[in-house]
């Protein structure tokens, strides 16, 4: 048997504490068997030893008034707190709940009863006093033992839940697993080269960035890119989250920062990745009284990053969705020297991401991923992977042998609009929904030269929408002309216009809620931000919002605010009149389009063109061969009716 030597003074202190605690427990048991007896009658000391042995049935229960009334019949009574037990002169045992004050006890004694008072403390009473004290002392001892040493002033027990995850070998993820962000990968290629060959940079006196901040929308691949850097450079990868540095105990975050950087220094060169760094890197303020612990953690992070020597080989990579919230001291050169903004992928990027993820799925040969990429404007890399997965799940449910185009279309509609709803709708609501969507589709066809081609129109309810007209962009747009804005406004308000034309002014519904909201936001952007209004001019008047409420206009007088509101109303009224004019002139064609929607529920873009123009229009489909791709601006456009 191996002998255990106790060399730590704190261990001896713990042993002494256990011994002291045992003595207190033993004393509690001893005191539980002791009682203080008071003689109030001249018959000698009363105790259980000299009390007569009486054999009787169960003790009778007396009330307090019964005890007072029969005081002369009581032979002896033992009082412990408010509980009393005793024997009557006829040998009957009794129990009672009494008020053990001095007058009551004197009354019993004067009537000839032998009164004894048990003032001893039981085991539970003693433990109730000493146990809280004992555990408090033990906790203080455990805490101060940790504060005497260790990283950051905390013991190993507090740091046992280490937030860092270490990969000692080459991570499986490399740049070949990252698609759609080629320019960002090129920015970070220098980091990989430095970790592989430092001498090439030192020869020219170049200093590699000590920190890289990755910012962008959720799902764009920030964490994946950080892993790929470590995989390409074949160096250890330390990963943690900003929220892991906060805890109940003050100073724990500082200790974790120290512990993590010490680990990184022992394994240099390496990658140190902090996800959601805005959790600890928020801007400091003189008014942040309750954030002292977070600010201490941030200060420690600043110290650790600033203390690196140029040749340590430790690269700190931070990721955040809110770079505007970070403290300026964290972004200065010497800490996060380089900031890489990861944008949502463009058309070619989405195609590359789909091609990469499609290797894990059994995709039908009829599926054209380029067309899928066209219909997913505004999707991130994570959204695209989820699209393929939802398509595969739908293929399994429908019994397909592989993922077909219909499965991907259903998955995209589910992600954009929500799952199908089996609503039991009134016939008049179905009629109104069909004419509403027919109005959107027809006006969109009339502006086919400036709007995106229609993918489909449907009256199948999804989420809150009772129907929708979905457009398939030819390519990504970075801007809109004023003609495109006005056409988009007319298309958005065409659903309400169709309701008014076919059902009358008193039959219009709240179904155009989302259309009006979209049109209002687009008009406000074009007028107050993009400077497209001749009346307002090229002045940016941004809307200030606080906690989701509508506030006053920034840097604008009341007169300017009134002008903005009037101009928005003017643009929307003009677009609505335009939609009314187009639909009224072609009322029969719109009605035929609505009838076909009622029969088939869903019409493709080619079917809509055939109904409107009498033949298929391939002009727009030829435009898909355009090679120019641009950064996305918004998601696939849908005009939908909501209740």
Q: What is the mean pLDDT of residues 330-338?
A: 85
Which residues are 622's β-sheet partners? none
Determine the Cα–Cα distance for residues 483 and 293; give it in Å rounded to an integer. Answer: 54
Provide the 10 A C-beta neighbour count for residue 92.
Answer: 16
Q: What pLDDT shows up at residue 591?
A: 93
Q: What is the pLDDT of residue 35?
A: 43
Question: What 3-state DSSP class applies to 128?
Answer: helix
CA–CA gap between residue 219 and residue 225 (Å, rounded): 11
Task: Examine the domain organization and report whether 616 and 524 are in the same domain.
Answer: yes
Question: Which band of pLDDT confidence, cut at 50, 70 and 90, is reported for residue 288?
Answer: low
What's the total number of domains in the chain?
4
Last residue of a domain, one of 314, 342, 370: 342
Residues ≥6 apart with Cβ < 8 Å to 410: 391, 394
pLDDT at 38 over 60: no
What is the enclosing helix (H) or strand (E) of 271? strand 270-275
388: helix, coil or strand?
helix
* 623 and 545 housed in the same domain: yes
Q: Are residues 461 and 380 in the same domain?
A: no
User: How many CA atoms, within 13 angstroms, populate the side-chain half-sphere of residue 448?
Assistant: 19
**115-129, 320-334, 502-516: which range is least confident on average?**
115-129
pLDDT of 290 over the 50 cut: yes
Q: In this structure, what DSSP letter does residue 419 have? A: S
Place of tokens 């191996």: 2
On whether residue 71 sits in a domain, the answer given is yes
Q: Is the pLDDT of residue 465 over 90?
A: no
Higher pLDDT, 139 or 186: 186
Element at 393 (helix H, strand E): helix 381-398
Catalytic residue among 437, 499, 567, 596: 437
Rounded CA Rg of the chain: 40
pLDDT at 585: 93
CATH number at residue 95: 3.30.720.210
Which range, 52-56, 129-133, 326-330, is most confident?
326-330
pLDDT exceeds cutoff 60 at 3? no
Span 326-340, average pLDDT: 86
Phi, psi for 383 (deg, rounded to 5): -65, -40
CA atoms 148, 154, 157, 162: torsion sign: negative
Q: What would the mean pLDDT of 567-584 be, rounded to a whole number?
A: 95
Task: Name the domain boundary from 367, 391, 417.
Answer: 417
Q: Are residues 164 and 263 in contact, defined by beta-carbon separation less than 8 angstroms?
A: yes
> Does 567 reside within a domain?
yes
Query: What confidence tier does 55 reach under pLDDT thresholds 50, 70, 90?
Result: very low
Residues 357 and 286 in one domain: no
Least confident of 358-362, 418-422, 439-443: 418-422
Does residue 544 share a domain with residue 492?
yes
CB 449 within 8 A of CB 421: no
Tokens of 545: 């919002």
282/300 same-domain check: yes
Q: Write the CATH number for 512.
A: 1.20.58.760
Question: If we measure between CA atoms, which residue out of 490, 494, 421 comes closest to residue 641?
Answer: 494
CB-CB contact of 432 with 415 (8 Å): no
> Please, how many CA atoms are within 13 Å of residue 70, restricted to the half-sphere of its CB?
20
**pLDDT at residue number 435:** 93
CATH assignment at residue 327: 3.40.50.300
The answer on pLDDT for 634 being more than 50 is: no
Quote the mean pLDDT of the chain. Answer: 77
Question: 305 pLDDT exceeds 50?
Answer: yes
Q: Please, are residues 309 and 292 in contact by the beta-carbon 8 Å criterion? A: no
What is the arithmetic mean of pLDDT over 409-438?
85
- 389 and 522 both lie in a single domain: no
- Strands in 122-191 per DSSP E: 165-167
Q: What does the pLDDT read at residue 346?
A: 87
Residue 40 lies in a domain: no
Band (pLDDT 50/70/90 cuts) for residue 243 is confident
Does 338 share its domain with 202? yes
- The residue from 324, 342, 360 where one domain ends is 342
Q: What percent of the chain has pLDDT over 90?
A: 21
Query: Does 304 map to a domain?
Result: yes
pLDDT-derived band at 553 (thresholds 50, 70, 90) equals low
Do 360 and 486 lie in a common domain? Answer: no
- Active-site annotation holds for 437: yes
On whether residue 302 sits in a domain, the answer given is yes
Which residues form the domain of 388? 352-417
Residue whose C-alpha is closest to residue 383's, from 626, 180, 188, 229: 180
Sign of CA dihedral 373, 184, 194, 313: negative
Q: What is the pLDDT of residues 56-90, one digit of tens each?
A: 467 888 887 888 888 888 888 888 777 888 888 88
CATH number, domain with residue 404: 1.10.8.60
pLDDT of residue 24: 60
Phi, psi at 639, each rounded to 5°: -105, 120
Secondary structure class of 124 (helix, strand, coil): helix
Instruction: Please indicate, yes or no, if residue 368 is contained in any of the structural domains.
Output: yes
Q: For 389-419, how does the pLDDT look when each residue is reduced to its tens digit (9 = 90+)?
A: 999 999 999 999 999 999 998 898 888 878 8
Structure tokens at 615: 């033949």
Please give the pLDDT value at position 116: 81
The pLDDT of 271-296, averaged and rounded, is 77
Q: Does residue 361 sit within a domain?
A: yes
Give the span between the Cα atoms of 53 and 87, in whole angstroms: 10
Q: Is 476 part of a structural domain of the chain?
A: yes
pLDDT of residue 499: 93
Same-domain pairing of 497 and 548:
yes
Is the pLDDT score of 619 beyond 90? Answer: no
For residues 393 and 463, membership in a common domain is answered with: no
Which residues touch 459 (CB under 8 Å, ≥6 apart)?
430, 433, 434, 437, 466, 467, 597, 598, 601, 602
State residue 170's pLDDT score: 60
pLDDT band at 428 (very low <50, low <70, confident <90, very high): confident
Please state the three-class secondary structure of 323-346 as a single string. Answer: HHHECHHHHCCCCCCEEEEECCCC
Quick: pLDDT tens for 251-278: 677 878 888 888 888 888 888 888 889 8
338 and 356, same structural domain? Answer: no
- Placement of tokens 């006829």 in the chain: 90
Of 630, 599, 591, which Cα lies nearest the Cα of 498? 591
């Amino acid at each position: 048997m191996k002998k255990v030597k106790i060399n730590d003074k704190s261990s001896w202190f713990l042993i002494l504490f256990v011994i002291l605690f045992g003595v207190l427990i033993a004393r509690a048991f001893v005191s539980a068997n002791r009682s203080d007896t008071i003689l109030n009658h001249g018959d000698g000391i009363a105790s259980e030893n000299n009390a007569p042995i009486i054999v009787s049935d169960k003790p009778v229960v007396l009330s307090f008034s019964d005890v007072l009334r029969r005081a002369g019949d009581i032979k002896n009574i033992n009082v412990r707190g408010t509980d009393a037990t005793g024997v009557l002169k006829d040998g009957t045992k009794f129990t009672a709940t009494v008020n053990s004050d001095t007058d009551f006890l004197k009354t019993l004694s004067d009537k000839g009863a032998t009164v004894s008072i048990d003032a001893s403390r039981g085991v539970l009473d003693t433990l109730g006093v000493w146990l809280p004290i004992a555990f408090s002392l033990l906790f203080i001892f455990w805490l101060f033992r940790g504060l005497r040493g260790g990283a950051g002033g905390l013991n190993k027990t507090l740091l046992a839940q280490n937030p860092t995850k270490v990969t000692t070998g080459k991570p499986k993820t490399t740049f070949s697993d990252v698609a759609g962000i080629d320019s960002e990968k090129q920015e970070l290629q220098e980091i990989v080269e430095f970790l592989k060959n430092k001498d090439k940079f030192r020869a020219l006196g170049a200093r590699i960035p000590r920190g890289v901040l990755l910012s962008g929308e959720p799902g764009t691949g920030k964490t994946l890119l950080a892993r790929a850097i470590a995989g390409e450079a074949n160096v250890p990868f330390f990963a943690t989250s900003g929220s892991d540095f906060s805890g109940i105990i003050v100073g724990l975050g500082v200790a974790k920062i120290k512990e993590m950087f010490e680990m990184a220094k022992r394994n240099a060169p390496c990658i140190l990745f902090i996800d959601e760094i805005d959790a600890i890197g928020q801007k400091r303020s003189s008014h942040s009284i309750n954030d002292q612990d977070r600010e201490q953690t941030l200060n420690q992070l600043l110290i650790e990053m600033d203390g690196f020597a140029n040749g340590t080989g430790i690269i700190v990579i931070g990721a955040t969705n809110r770079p505007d919230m970070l403290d300026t001291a964290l972004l200065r050169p010497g800490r996060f020297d380089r900031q890489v903004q990861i944008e949502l992928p463009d058309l070619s990027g989405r195609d590359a991401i789909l091609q990469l993820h499609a290797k894990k799925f059994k995709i039908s040969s009829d599926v054209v991923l380029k067309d899928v990429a066209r219909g997913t404007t505004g999707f991130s890399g994570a959204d695209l992977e989820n699209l393929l997965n939802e398509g595969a799940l739908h293929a399994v449910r429908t019994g397909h042998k592989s993922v077909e185009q219909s499965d991907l279309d259903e998955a995209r509609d589910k992600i954009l609009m929500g799952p199908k709803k089996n609503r039991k709708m009134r016939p008049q609501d179905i009629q109104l929904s069909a004419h509403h969507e027919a109005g959107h589709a027809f006006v969109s066809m009339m502006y086919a030269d400036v709007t995106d081609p229609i993918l489909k129109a449907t009256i199948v309810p999804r989420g809150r929408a009772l129907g929708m007209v979905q457009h398939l962009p030819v390519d990504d747009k970075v801007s809109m002309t004023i003609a495109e804005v006005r056409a988009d406004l007319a298309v958005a308000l065409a659903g309400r216009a169709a309701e008014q034309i076919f059902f009358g002014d008193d039959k219009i519904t709240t179904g155009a809620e989302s259309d009006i909201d979209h049109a209002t936001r687009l008009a406000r952007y074009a007028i107050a931000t993009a400077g497209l209004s001749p009346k307002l001019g090229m002045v940016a008047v941004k809307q200030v919002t606080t906690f989701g409420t509508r506030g006053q206009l920034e840097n604008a007088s009341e007169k300017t605010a009134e002008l903005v509101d009037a101009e928005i109303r003017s643009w929307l009224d003009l677009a609505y009149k335009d939609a009314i004019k187009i639909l009224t002139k072609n009322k029969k064609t719109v009605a035929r389009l609505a009838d076909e929607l009622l029969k088939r529920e869903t019409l493709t873009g080619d079917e809509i063109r055939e109904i409107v123009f009498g033949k298929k229009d391939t002009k727009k489909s030829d435009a898909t061969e355009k090679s120019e791709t641009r950064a996305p601006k918004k998601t696939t456009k849908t005009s939908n009716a909501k209740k």
